[in-house]
Amino acid sequence: MKGPPMTSTHEVFNQPPTLAGYDVAADPAMLDALRREGGGWAEDGVRELGRLAGSAQAQEWGRQANEHPPVLRTHDRFGNRIDEVEFHPAWHSLMTVAIRHGLHAAPWRDPRPGAHVARAAGFYVWGATDAGHGCPISMTYAIVPALRHAPELAGRFEPLLAAEEYDFGLRPPSTKRGLLAGMSMTEKQGGSDVRANTTRAVPAGDGTFSLTGHKWFTSAPMGDLFMVLAQAPGGLSCFLLPRVLPDGSRNAMRLQRLKDKLGNRSNASAEVEYEQAAAWLVGEEGRGVRTIIEMVNMTRLDCVLGTATGMRTGVTLAAHHAAHRTAFGRRLADQPLMANVLADLALESEATTMAAFRLAGATDRAAGGDEQEAAFRRLALAVTKYWVCKRAPAHAAEALECLGGNGYVEESGMPRLYREAPLASIWEGSGNVAALDALRALTRQPGTAEAFFAELDQAAGADHRLDQAIARLRKEVSDPSEGRARYLAEAMALALQGALLVRNGYPAVADAFVASRLDSASSFGSGGAYGTLPSGADTAAIVSRVTPQILW
Ligand SMILES: Cc1cc2nc3c(=O)[nH]c(=O)nc-3n(C[C@H](O)[C@H](O)[C@H](O)COP(=O)(O)OP(=O)(O)OC[C@H]3O[C@@H](n4cnc5c(N)ncnc54)[C@H](O)[C@@H]3O)c2cc1C
């Protein structure tokens, strides 16, 4: 017997196409900055990596690596300790591409001018696939300047840290084709105040030290070499600790458990027990903070770059959605209020990208011996790390909302961005610590303030609103009391972003940024929601710079 015909209600319309098959590196702010900061020679490689990052395959790796997070295997089936972390194959694919492209070390292998900028561009575009694997990539990049405080160890391990080979697994470092590094500082009783560390380092009599203690956070514990802080007889010191000893036996580094984290789920972060683990001293005994800060300073640059990537990804997804979705008879992108929101998100993203690349350029020139750039970087990195990381969670939340309910659903990729967003502000110097660090540079290293203001002065005369903001800032920094550290860091970061945009940015972006963030006459100050650009902002031109084109 025939029943009534089925009526299909499942017609899909007014939904955007999947955003895959696009060029992540088709990013005018990034490409201009890459060339301006001396990395233009790397453009072809960055574009190639950008197309790979925007491919359906790489986007899928990012999804899988996060939906199948790492698993800790403490013991084998017979009860022997193995302390290994197991990853989904997608993680290994992401790591392989990152390492083949030298994102973990290319500037150390080939320190030509612009090398740190080129590497920054690669890190920025490839990060659009997944933020989590950026952690071991970043720490491997960052360990080298600290390791050079022990020339013999650097001679032994630097070539392997810089090798473009991803060689996962527990084997003696010198027998591997490539190495990964980690950092083990934070203890239960205090992470910011590392001087309170209780892990002890006792000379073993053979030139090594024996480390005993517990670390509350050690990310990427499947790495090969770790920079560890511990109390030696001469005070807090920095040590290089291999996971496998040169004779092939396991070092006494026990992974207790992995953290169940808000985001960053593709990456493993462990609690670690060292039980008389063997390690080599790096730098002077008792000067551990001074040594490891060299590593922290490099990872802070990646906090800024990673935040720039997160913002760019968020606004790209939002602009893509709004370009294809209609509501109340018009494309969302053409609704004046949505255009304001998208433009505001876009200019925050461009300002962050420009600051990140200016800092990558300063890193490059400082590595080449430019002291003025080193002084600029010292202060500018602290204020930028503080400010852009603070802006990230609100940016991700607003980008998510542009997709409406779809943005709250995991498949959109937005929840992953949102959960990741607060992290860069916490590690490598949490918000207050970063702001206080900026204050320390400002008050104790006057050369850093001179270099910082010299940078701002290069924009003098181009925009009277910026000129007035910089004049106000000069007065503000004359009261560097601790309770004002956030206020000052924010003001300095905004002035820097404004100056960079006015000098080198896209005019509509620069104008709207200064009008909304620095013009005391027209703005109600910071803290407002995104989407509050004053009338006159060329929102269509700004949004077109972040709207992706599906190419294949
Ligand atoms: C996912 C993840 C991965 C991590 N991976 C690593 C790793 O690989 N290796 C590692 O060593 N650590 C790692 N950490 C730890 C991280 O670096 C610390 O959490 C961070 O440094 C803060 O230390 P804490 O958690 O002990 O907080 P605390 O130091 O107790 O700080 C708590 C709060 O107090 C504020 N504060 C501190 N001092 C002051 C002050 N003087 N004035 C005002 N405010 C202050 C801080 O800004 C912060 O907001 C990781 C953390 C996370 C979340």
Contact between residue 466 and residue 459 where contact means Cβ atoms under 8 Å apart = yes
Distance CA 32, CA 52 (A): 20
Q: Pairing relation of β-strands 235-242 and 225-232?
A: antiparallel
> In this predicted model, what pLDDT tens digit does every residue of 22-53 receive, in sequence order?
999 999 999 999 999 999 999 999 999 999 99
Distance CA 36, CA 32 (A): 6
Taking the centre of ligand 1 as the mean of its atom positions, its distance from the CA of residue 506, in whole angstroms, is 37
Match 């196409």 to its residue by tokens. 17
Would you say the C-alpha torsion 285, 288, 292, 294 has a positive or negative sign?
negative
Per-residue pLDDT of the chain (552 residues; tens, 9 = 90+): 566 666 678 899 999 999 999 999 999 999 999 999 999 999 999 999 999 999 999 999 999 999 999 999 999 999 999 999 999 999 999 999 999 999 999 999 999 999 999 999 999 999 999 999 999 999 999 999 999 999 999 999 999 999 999 999 999 999 999 999 999 999 999 999 999 999 999 999 999 999 999 999 999 999 999 999 999 999 999 999 999 999 999 999 999 999 999 999 999 999 999 999 999 999 999 999 999 999 999 999 999 999 999 999 999 999 999 999 999 999 999 999 999 999 999 999 999 999 999 999 999 999 999 999 999 999 999 999 999 999 999 999 999 999 999 999 999 999 999 999 999 999 999 999 999 999 999 999 999 999 999 999 999 999 999 999 999 999 999 999 999 999 999 999 999 999 999 999 999 999 999 999 999 876 555 557 999 999 999 999 999 999 999 999
Close Cβ partners of 382 (under 8 Å, ≥ 6 residues apart): 300, 429, 434, 435, 437, 438, 441, 489
Instruction: Please report, to the nearest 10 degrees, the dihedral formed by the alpha carbons of residues 28, 33, 38, 43 taken in order.
Output: -30
- Of the candidates 434, 530, 551, the one whose C-alpha atom is nearest the C-alpha of residue 488 is 434
- Of the candidates 382, 386, 395, the one whose C-alpha atom is nearest the C-alpha of residue 350 is 395
Best residue among 253, 265, 423, 430 to mutate for probing ligand 1's pocket (most ligand atoms within 8 Å of CB) is 430
Residue 427, ligand 1, Cβ within 6 A? yes
Q: What is the DSSP letter of 332?
A: G
Taking the centre of ligand 1 as the mean of its atom positions, its distance from the CA of residue 349, in whole angstroms, is 26
Q: Which amino acid is at 180?
A: L
Match 């490539």 to its residue by tokens. 178
> In this predicted model, what pLDDT tens digit does every residue of 175-195 receive, in sequence order?
999 999 999 999 999 999 999
Contact between residue 33 and residue 101 where contact means Cβ atoms under 8 Å apart = no
The token pair at 306 is 């990673």
pLDDT of residue 4: 67
Q: What is the DSSP letter of 462?
A: S
Best residue among 66, 427, 428, 482 to mutate for probing ligand 1's pocket (most ligand atoms within 8 Å of CB) is 427
Bridge partner residues of 202 (DSSP): 210
Q: What is the DSSP letter of 7?
A: P
With 0-12 / 13-18 / 19 or more C-beta atoms within 10 angstroms meaning exposed / middle / buried, residue 295 is buried
Closest ligand 1 atom to 185 CA: 11
pLDDT of residue 6: 66
Taking the centre of ligand 1 as the mean of its atom positions, its distance from the CA of residue 286, in whole angstroms, is 22
Closest ligand 1 atom to 135 CA: 8
pLDDT of residue 319: 98
- Of the candidates 465, 291, 451, the one whose C-alpha atom is nearest the C-alpha of residue 358 is 451
Distance CA 16, CA 322 (A): 8
CA angle in degrees (0–180, nearest 5) for 457-300-392 = 85
Closest ligand 1 atom to 187 CA: 26
- Of the candidates 471, 509, 499, 486, the one whose C-alpha atom is nearest the C-alpha of residue 358 is 499
Distance CA 240, CA 35 (A): 36
Best residue among 433, 436, 440, 482 to mutate for probing ligand 1's pocket (most ligand atoms within 8 Å of CB) is 433
Question: Helix-strand-coil percent breakdown of the chain, rounded to 5?
Answer: 55, 15, 30
Where helices occur in 68-128 by DSSP H, the ranges are 89-100, 106-109, 115-126
Closest ligand 1 atom to 220 CA: 8
